[in-house]
């Protein structure tokens, strides 16, 4: 099933997560999307801002420090110590070290090599970087199934795996999925039948707008936010007193 044009505003962040380790050779490596997660997960605990945990007096979170230490030689992966350490078979030199129980995947190693070869550019925290609208992939051969920009990005990624869209969902399945995604609740039977009788793009857009304007949409999104914020009604059975609500409002 492809996405209808009425939900073109949904963010592409989930797509970018899937794409980062399958970056086309023609696309430039992005530090915040592709490299920062690798360094954060595998490197910066011992080579980051915390001086108490830092080893070998090496910081990989600061470009100038990494270059000065010889860990990075921008434009030359073969001369960069960080690349030598992730590729070596010598366990005494291998990074991350075996006792850390962390191991880079072949895709992550390739991304690091490409990043260094492209100049090892860093970026600030994503929250302070100006968003850049990516170019929409050209999908001229799939005009009937690509109805909006998100469809184009999804299909481009599928085609890398020699896959395509699943068949179009029937109207009742489509409304069920839409309602569960936006509100977490099944759609009223009358609305399901109304859309089944008129499954046009205009009717779909009207249904999307109706669900987005419903209190259930706000409640469903708030419940997910509270999960991310680690909210609970209780501190646990040992300190199960009244919970202040103001931090969550």
Higher local confidence (pLDDT), 11 or 71:
71
The region of weakest confidence among 58-67, 109-118, 239-248 is 239-248
pLDDT digits (tens, 9 = 90+) for 101-140: 999 999 999 999 999 999 999 999 888 988 888 899 887 7
The structure's pTM equals 0.60
Distance in angstroms (rounded) separating the CA atoms of residues 82 and 96: 10
CB-CB neighbours of 218 under 10 Å: 12
The domain ranges of the chain are 31-122, 171-228
Residue 248's pLDDT is 63
Distance in angstroms (rounded) separating the CA atoms of residues 71 and 177: 49
Across 185-204, b (16+ Cβ under 10 Å) vs e yields: eebeeeebebbeeebeeebb
């Amino acid at each position: 099933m492809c996405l209808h044009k009425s939900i073109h505003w949904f963010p592409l962040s989930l797509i970018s997560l899937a794409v980062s380790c399958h970056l086309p050779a023609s696309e430039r490596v992005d530090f915040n999307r592709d490299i920062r997660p690798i360094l954060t997960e595998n490197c910066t605990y011992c080579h980051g801002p915390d001086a108490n945990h830092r080893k070998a007096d090496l910081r990989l979170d600061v470009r100038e420090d990494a270059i000065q230490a010889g860990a990075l030689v921008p434009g030359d992966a073969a001369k960069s110590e960080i690349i030598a350490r992730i590729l070596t078979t010598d366990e005494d030199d291998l990074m991350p070290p075996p006792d850390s129980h962390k191991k880079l995947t072949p895709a992550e190693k390739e991304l690091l090599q490409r990043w260094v070869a492209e100049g090892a550019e860093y970026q600030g925290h994503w929250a302070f970087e100006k968003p850049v609208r990516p170019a929409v992939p050209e999908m001229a051969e799939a005009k009937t199934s690509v109805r909006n920009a998100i469809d184009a990005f999804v299909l481009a990624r599928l085609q890398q795996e020699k896959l395509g869209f699943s068949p179009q969902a029937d109207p009742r399945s489509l409304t069920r999925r839409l309602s569960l995604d936006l509100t977490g609740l099944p759609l009223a039977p009358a609305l399901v039948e109304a859309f089944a009788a008129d499954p046009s793009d205009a009717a779909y857009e009207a249904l999307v707008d109706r669900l987005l304007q419903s209190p259930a949409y706000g409640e469903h999104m708030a419940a997910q936010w509270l999960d991310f914020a680690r909210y609970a009604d209780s501190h646990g059975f040992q300190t199960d007193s009244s919970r202040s609500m103001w931090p969550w409002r």
